[in-house]
Amino acid sequence: MSYTWWDELGEFKALHSMNAIRIPWIRDTLTRKYEQMPLSLASPLQDKVILDAGSGGGILTEPLARLGASVIGIDMVEENIKVAQTHLNQDPHIVSRVKYIQAAVEDLVETEEEKFDAVVSSEVVEHVSDLSTFISSCCKLLKPGGSLFITTLNKTTMSYGLAVFAAENVLNLVPKGTHDWNKFIPPDDLQYMLDKNGLTRSLIHGIIYNPLTNRWTWIQDTSINYALHAVKAEHSKHGI
Ligand SMILES: C[S@@+](CC[C@H](N)C(=O)[O-])C[C@H]1O[C@@H](n2cnc3c(N)ncnc32)[C@H](O)[C@@H]1O
């Protein structure tokens, strides 16, 4: 289904519309953190090096580069990387700031440890086979003081009913089999893994998708989708 990545009304439309909330969230968190004054409105993420871990077709990678960041998008699926690179080549303004790599995030640690100001992994961890190794790799890839941004699905009856059953069988938002509920992650489990790797959670917040309006909204309730931001300890190389 790779050719549909850039169809804003296709199978990935919810990822496209999520950009409306996840990009300002990442931008504002990073610019506040580095207290960039005066803030460059055109390139607020200038000089930031970001890893988009599980970048798919580049739906999130490109807008981050448009905000001035240098972004590495990594995805284990060759076809996704090809689609992302082909789409990127159409925009000469950002092509030099984005690099796509076809590999598993876990394989990047050997060469890129502590290289990134931020690691972003949006709608990925619920697809990963060895979550503990994946999270530990994301943490190792961050510079001390770096930020990890995750969006994912909670493991609740509600998330099964809406994100799996309704999304795949009633609303036909995503193809059948897109999500395996057994891989969904309760926030406490994610928090435990982050703690083990020397990261402190600074935010956890619910987000919800309205399929009728194709819009995402921030909500208090984290029982279906949630977003998490955590920060790596300043002087810890490998965490605890
Ligand atoms: C639902 S897509 C999300 C794409 C992108 N983050 C976005 O929000 O537009 C999940 C992606 O994660 C990738 N992925 C899953 N596990 C991975 C791993 N261990 N290393 C790299 N990519 C991975 C998949 O190939 C897939 O492209």
Of the listed ranges 83-97, 107-121, 142-156, 222-236, the one predicted with least confidence = 222-236
Residue 121 has pLDDT above 70, yes or no: yes
Phi-psi map region of 64: left, alpha, beta (phi>0 left; psi -120 to 50 alpha):
alpha
Task: Transcribe 60-128 into DSSP letters.
Answer: THHHHHHTT-EEEEEES-HHHHHHHHHHHTT-TTTGGGEEEEES-GGGGHHHHTT-EEEEEEES-GGG-
Q: Does residue 152 contact residue 125 with C-beta atoms inside 8 Å?
A: yes
Residue 48 has pLDDT above 60, yes or no: yes
- The amino acid at residue 153 is L
Of the listed ranges 118-122, 158-162, 194-198, 236-240, the one predicted with least confidence = 236-240
Residue 87 has pLDDT above 50, yes or no: yes
Distance, CA of 118 to CA of 122 (rounded, Å)? 12
pTM: 0.94
**Cβ of 62 below 6 Å from ligand 1:** no
Look at residue 137 in the predicted model and tell me its pLDDT: 98
Q: What is the percentage of the chain residues whose pLDDT exceeds 70?
A: 94
Q: Hey, what domains does the chain have and what are their CATH numbers?
A: 2-232 (3.40.50.150)
Distance, CA of 227 to CA of 222 (rounded, Å)? 8
Cα 53 to ligand 1 centroid, rounded to whole Å: 7
What's the mean pLDDT when you consider all of the chain? 92
**Cβ of 128 below 6 Å from ligand 1:** yes
Residue 1 has pLDDT above 60, yes or no: no
For the stretch 164-175, pLDDT in tens is 877 888 787 888
Q: Which residue lies with its CA nearest to atom 18 of ligand 1?
A: 104
Q: Distance from CA of residue 65 to its chain's centroid?
A: 14
Q: Distance from CA of residue 7 to its chain's centroid?
A: 19
Residue 177 has pLDDT above 90, yes or no: no
**How much is the average pLDDT of 209-216?**
95
**Cβ of 76 below 6 Å from ligand 1:** yes
**How much is the average pLDDT of 48-54?**
98
Which tokens go with 148?
């990890």
Look at residue 38 in the predicted model and tell me its pLDDT: 60
**How much is the average pLDDT of 207-223?**
96
Q: What is the percentage of the chain residues whose pLDDT exceeds 90?
A: 79
Cα 42 to ligand 1 centroid, rounded to whole Å: 28
What is the band of 240 on the pLDDT scale with cuts at 50, 70, 90? very low
Taking alpha carbons only, the member of 209, 205, 207, 198 closest to residue 240 is 198
CA of 134, closest atom in ligand 1: 19
What is the band of 36 on the pLDDT scale with cuts at 50, 70, 90? low
Look at residue 8 in the predicted model and tell me its pLDDT: 94
First to last CA, the chain: 40
- The amino acid at residue 206 is G
What is the band of 178 on the pLDDT scale with cuts at 50, 70, 90? confident
Cα 26 to ligand 1 centroid, rounded to whole Å: 18
Look at residue 239 in the predicted model and tell me its pLDDT: 46
